[in-house]
Amino acid sequence: MHADGPQTPDPQSPNPESQVEKMFEYGYRKSNYGPDELVTDAHGNPISVVDAMMSAKEAAATPTSTPHLCYYSPRIPGNTGSAIRLCAVTGTILHLVEPLGFNLRDTKLRRAGLDYHDMAHVVLHPDFDDLVASMPDSRIIAFTAHATKLYTDVEYKPTDILLFGPEPGNIPDPTDIMFGPHVAEQVRLPMRPSLRSLNLTNCASIAIYEAWRQLGFDGGR
């Protein structure tokens, strides 16, 4: 049982700040890194974002246990940071299609707690045609509020690409991308009527985990 009243600090207990610094030394960024330093190597040294990412060719040749995830022209860095972590923990490959609405070195990406292992699941494409050309045998499934089919009515494959468009804003949704001839299916997440859409990466998380569930959570524990 704990005694009432203030607790006396344990003189043998290490300083919490020193513990944090020690953690930073073993693979995470240090607290004094500049705002443009996004990822680090296993020793805590900053490295280039491009050096940490996959090439389109590597992504196409890498076996996965979940479908690939694609963000077309994402605008909010925090959403992409969360998506990078989502893909790291599920073994999903994240494709980002330019133009992006932010710099990949944005501090909001950095605040997501990313390291270079997470970025190893990310591919950057100069345009959507580059994605299609790099994975010509993959089925593209577009998630859009305008679809009638539910996302649970699809039997997912690891080679699929789950496509999400930009976050809502002043730029019109790219209907040529979300409903183009390259898209095999358009699906939606059910929502109560007259309410705003879910956060982009919340939607992507629901989709990825449903696909992974269908595939038996292969590679998970």
Q: Tell whether 189 is in a known binding site.
A: yes
Say how far apart CA 119 and CA 79 lie, in whole Å.
14
Q: Does 73 share its domain with 119?
A: yes
Whether 123 is in a domain gets the answer: yes
Last residue of a domain, one of 46, 64, 86: 46
Question: Domain check: are 121 and 54 in the same one?
Answer: yes
In a domain, 9, yes or no: no
- Which residues sit opposite 162 in a β-bridge? 69, 141
**Residues 208 and 107 placed together within one structural domain of the fold:** yes
For residue 165, say whether it is annotated as part of any ligand binding site: yes
In angstroms, rounded to a whole number, what is the distance separating the alpha carbons of residues 189 and 198?
9
Are 35 and 138 within one domain? no
Q: Which pLDDT value is given to residue 170?
A: 52
CATH number at residue 84: 3.40.1280.10
pLDDT averaged over every residue in the chain:
82
Q: Is 90 exceeded by the pLDDT of residue 211?
A: yes
In a shared domain, residues 31 and 104: no
What residue numbers bound the domain in which 102 lies?
A: 50-214
4 domain residue, yes or no: no
- pLDDT top residue among 43 and 159: 159
Statement to judge: residues 168 and 76 lie in one domain: yes
pLDDT tens digits for range 83-141: 999 999 999 999 999 999 888 877 677 666 577 778 889 999 999 999 999 999 999 99
Q: Let me know if residue 170 belongs to a domain.
A: yes
The pLDDT value given to residue 173: 63
Q: Which residues of 36-59 are buried (b: 16+ CB within 10 A; e: fewer)?
A: ebbbbeeebebeebeebbbebeeb
Verify that 26 and 85 share a domain, yes or no. Answer: no
Count of structural domains, the chain: 2
